[in-house]
Chains A and B, each alone.
Chain A
Amino acid sequence: MAKFITIGERLSTTAPTVNKAFLARDPEPILARAKAQLDAGATYLDVNIGPAEGYGEDLMKWAVQLLQSNFDNVPLALDTSNKAAIEAGISVYNRSKGKPIVNSADAAGRIENIDLAAANDAIVIALCNGEGIAADNDERMGYCTTLLERGLSLGLSEDDIWFDPLFVVIKGMQDKQMDVLHFIGDLTAMGLKTTGGLSNNSNGMPKHIRPIMDSAMVAMAMMMGMTSAIVNPNDLRLMETIKSCDIIRNDTLYADSYLEV
C-alpha cells in the first residue's frame, strides 16, 4: 500500500476570495492559499473553477501554469464541469510530480470524462452515482461497474480510476454512514482505489465539531482501505489523524517526530 494521498480543496470558486482572484487573474490570494495547503502536507491541489463558461479554458491554463511554476510542478486535480477547460489545463500541465486528475466523472451525464482521462493519460475521479445519490450499495456497485468497464475498455488502468463512494451528510443520513464505509471496504477488496469529499459528512455541524467528526470519519475510512481524500489540509487535527493512520497502516515508517515531517 502507498501513503494516503490528500487533495487540498481550498482553491475553490465557492470561496469568495478565490472566486474574485480567479476572475481578476490575481495571483497573490491563489498562491497564498496554495502555499498554506502544501505546507500543511497536501499532495495534490484541487483547482475548482466552477463551470466558467466562455472563459474556462483561459482560466484553467492560467491557474495550472501559475501553480506549477511557483510550486515545483505540484500535481493538480482539475475540477470543473467544463470539459474544454480540463483539456486546456492538461495541455499545459507538467507531469513530473504526478499525472493530472480529472475531477470528475459519474455514471450518468459526466461519464464522458472517463473518455477524456483515457485520451489524456490522466487519473479520473469516478463518482459512484447516476442521477442522484445511490439508494444502496448494490446500486453503487452497479455504477462502479459501468465506470470501470468503460475505463478499461478505453485502455485506462484500474489504478487510474479513483472511485468516490460519495460521503453523505450525518445530519439527515446518519443511518447510511456505515453503508458508505462498507462500500469503501468492498472497493478495496476489489483492489480498487478510492477518494472523495470527506467533509461532506459533517456539513451543517458547528464549526468546532467538524474537525473532530472529519478525523473520526477519515480514520474509519482508512481502516476500510481508503487511499485518498479531498480535504482541507489546514485542518490540523485531520492531518494529524491521517499521518497517524498512515503509520498504523505501515505506509510510512514511524519515528518519534512523524508529525513534524
Chain B
Amino acid sequence: MPFTKKLQKFNATIRTVELGTGEKAVKLGGGSTFPFYTFDGPTANPAKIGIEISDMGLENEPDCIKAFYEGCGSVAEIAKKAASFEGVDFVVLKLEGGDPNGADKPVEELVNVAKEVSEAIDLPLVVEGCKNVQKDAELLSKVAEALQGKNVLLLSAREEDYKNIAAAAGLAYDQLIGAESAVDINLAKQLNVLIKQLGVDLGKVVMNVGSAAAGYGFDYVISTMDRVRAAALGQADDSLLMPVITPVSSETWTVKEASASEEDAPGWGPVEERGIDMEVETAVACLTCGSDAVILKHPTSIATVSKMIQALS
C-alpha cells in the first residue's frame, strides 16, 4: 500500500495585518496552517523580521553591534543603516530612554526621536515603549498621534495600560496595537477581548504572547505559542486569530551564553558567534511555534533567519 499523505485543514485563517504604508508595507499573518506547513496549504505571507534599534543610540549595545553602525551620528542615521541590512522587513525603535528608573527622557524628546526615525526610513516602523506602565501610557499615545498616517505598530498594550494605548493607537489615531501578555494563554485571549470591547478593529491587533531566550524557561514560550495557534485554528477562536510578533533580541543578548567575554568563558569561542547563534536559534524556535514576525538585531542573524524563512516558504 502506498503512503497516503493526509493533510490537516482548518476552517479558520489568522487575520492579515498590514504594517506601514506604500510599497514597503508588510503583511503579517494570513496563514491557515501551522508554521511552515506549506504542504497543508499555501503560506499567505512568509514570516517577517524587524531590526531593533534604540533611542539610546549605541550606548548599551555589545561591541559587535556597534561595529555595524560605525559613523552613525544620530538615531535617525542608525535607523537608516539598520533598514539597509539584508532581510530586514521593518524597523523597531525601542524608546528605552523613557524609563523613569533609567535615563528618564521627557516624552516630547522621545516623540521627536520617533518622528526623525520615521522620516529617515521608508520601511514600516514599530515603536516600543520603555516598559514602565505609567510612562508608556502617555508616551505611546503621543507617538501614535505624532506618526498619524504612517500605520505604525505600538508595542505594547498590556493589561495595566491597554485602555490608554489601545484607545489612542487603535481608535483616535488609526495605528496598530501590540497586545502583550507574559506567557499566559488565558490573558492573551482576554486582552484581545478587552481591546475589542473598547471598539478597536481586531484587524489592527497583533499579539506578543511572551518570549524568553532558548534554555531560559523557553518551554513556557513553546507551549503558549503552540496552544495559541492550535486554539486559533482548531477552535476557530476569533479572539485568538491575530498574528504573533515576538521580540527575540531583547531576551537573547543579555544571557551569559551570549554576553560572557572570552576571558570569562574560556573555551566557548568568540562572543559574537555565540550572540548570533543564541539569537538565531531562539528566533527559529519562536517561528516554528507560531511567530509571524520576530525582532532581532544582529545583521548576520537577520540574514540567516530570513534565508531560512525563504527556504521554507
Contacts and interface: CB of A to CB of B under 8 A. Distances in A.
B197 A260 contact: yes
Given A257-B197, A260-B197, A251 B235 contact: yes
A190 interface: no
A257 B193 contact: yes
A260 B197 CA distance: 10
A255 B193 contact: yes
Contacts of A255: 186-187, 189-190, 193, 239
A167 B238 CA distance: 33
4 residue pairs, one from A and one from B, having the closest CB atoms: A255-B190, A255-B189, A257-B193, A253-B231
B40 interface: no
Contacts of B197: 257, 260
A8 B237 CA distance: 21
Q: Is the interface on chain B under 10, 10 to 19, 20 to 34, or 35 or more residues?
A: 10 to 19
Nearest to B189: A255
Interface string A235-261: 000000000000000011111110011
Interface in B20-62: none
B194 interface: yes
A45 to B, nearest CB: 18
Interface residues of A, number: 11
Interface of B is mostly: helix
Interface string B197-237: 10000000000000000000000000000010001000101
Contacts of B239: 255, 261
A3 interface: yes
B237 A256 contact: no
A191 to B, nearest CB: 17
Nearest to A98: B11
10 contacts: A253-B231, A253-B235, A253-B240, A255-B186, A255-B189, A256-B186, A256-B190, A260-B193, A261-B238, A261-B239
A253 B227 CA distance: 9
A251 B230 CA distance: 11
A32 interface: no
B185 interface: yes
Which residue, A2, A251, A255, has most C-beta atoms of chain B within 10 A? Answer: A255
Contacts of A3: 235
A99 to B, nearest CB: 12
Interface in A201-244: none
A255 B193 CA distance: 8
Contacts of A254: 186, 189
A261 B193 contact: yes
Contacts of A260: 193, 197
Given A255-B193, A260-B197, 15 more contacts: A2-B235, A3-B235, A252-B231, A253-B185, A253-B227, A253-B231, A254-B186, A254-B189, A255-B186, A255-B187, A256-B186, A257-B194, A257-B197, A260-B193, A261-B239
